[in-house]
Amino acid sequence: MQEDTADGTTTDGAAPDDEDAGEAVDLADRVGEYDADLGAAVGNLEARIEELEAELDEEQARADDLESRLKRKQADFQNYKKRTEQQKEELKERATEDFVARLVPVRDDLVRALEQDDDVDIRDGVESTLASLDRVLESENVSAIEPEAGDDVDPTRHEVMMRVESDEPEGSIVDVYRPGYEMAGSVIQEAQVTVSEGPA
């Protein structure tokens, strides 16, 4: 059987039920009954705990807000990346369409040249068509790679097709088999060349 002790606990060390004890006594007040200074210290600790809990709640709310804002920013950035990629693709398609639109008339000119009678000299027409094509390529910043005889071989711009006996210095270019092309400083087709082995 349990009995109440002087400090308000039962003989088994447990506090009495609320039904038996009424309102729970504040810990600081209970300690203050025995030691006023210690009771005041406990009261200060309880107050500090409440302050810290309130600060913790504020920090948690702030952290939740920052996390929510970060997620929104990440979603906005992903949407921005998608829009940018889509715009790039659209620009690329429009640029390709523009380039093709300028090439089509050149092809039409070549078709008309081939439709001429066999006895008609089409050289002038072909030269005019070639000039038109060159203008289109130049507008796209495309230029020919056509090294001169005697130039040194550049492995980034020239493809050696064969080596031949020549009066040109050994290892230098003798002739251009097929011109190359570069666009905005980048090689898109290497020039095919023959290279000198030196005189026989």
Predicted confidence (pLDDT) per residue in 32-87, tens digit = 677 777 777 877 888 888 889 999 999 999 999 999 999 999 999 999 999 999 99
- Residue 20 pLDDT class (50, 70, 90 cuts): very low
108-142 pLDDT, tens digit per residue, is: 888 888 888 778 888 888 888 889 899 988 888 89
Tokens of 196: 């000198």
CA distance 57 to 37: 30
The pLDDT of residue 193 is: 95
The pLDDT of residue 28 is: 64
Distance of CA 129 to the CA centre of its chain: 42
**CA-wise closest residue to 7 among 164, 15, 107, 193:** 15
Which residues make Cβ contacts (< 8 Å) with residue 38, sequence separation at least 6? 31, 32
**Global model pTM greater than 0.75:** no
The pLDDT of residue 195 is: 94
The pLDDT of residue 32 is: 65
CA distance 120 to 137: 28
Based on C-alpha coordinates, what's the Rg of the chain?
A: 46
User: Does residue 16 carry a pLDDT above 60?
Assistant: no
Each domain of the chain, given as residue ranges in start order, spans: 22-82, 144-200
Domain 144-200 classified CATH 2.30.22.10? Answer: yes
For the chain, percent of residues with pLDDT exceeding 90 = 37
Mean pLDDT computed over every residue of the chain: 82
CA distance 84 to 80: 6
For 30-83, give the secondary structure using H, E and C: HHHCCCHHHHHHHHHHHHHHHHHHHHHHHHHHHHHHHHHHHHHHHHHHHHHHHH
**126 or 30: which leads in pLDDT:** 126
**159 or 200: which leads in pLDDT:** 159
The pLDDT of residue 21 is: 39
pLDDT winner (highest mean) among 5-9, 28-32, 100-104, 145-149: 145-149
The pLDDT of residue 25 is: 52
Amino acid code (one letter) for 174: V
State how far the alpha carbon of 97 is from the alpha carbons of 3, 62, 81, 92, 168, in Å: 97, 52, 24, 9, 45
The pLDDT of residue 19 is: 44
pLDDT winner (highest mean) among 4-18, 24-38, 135-149: 135-149
Region 150-159 average pLDDT: 92
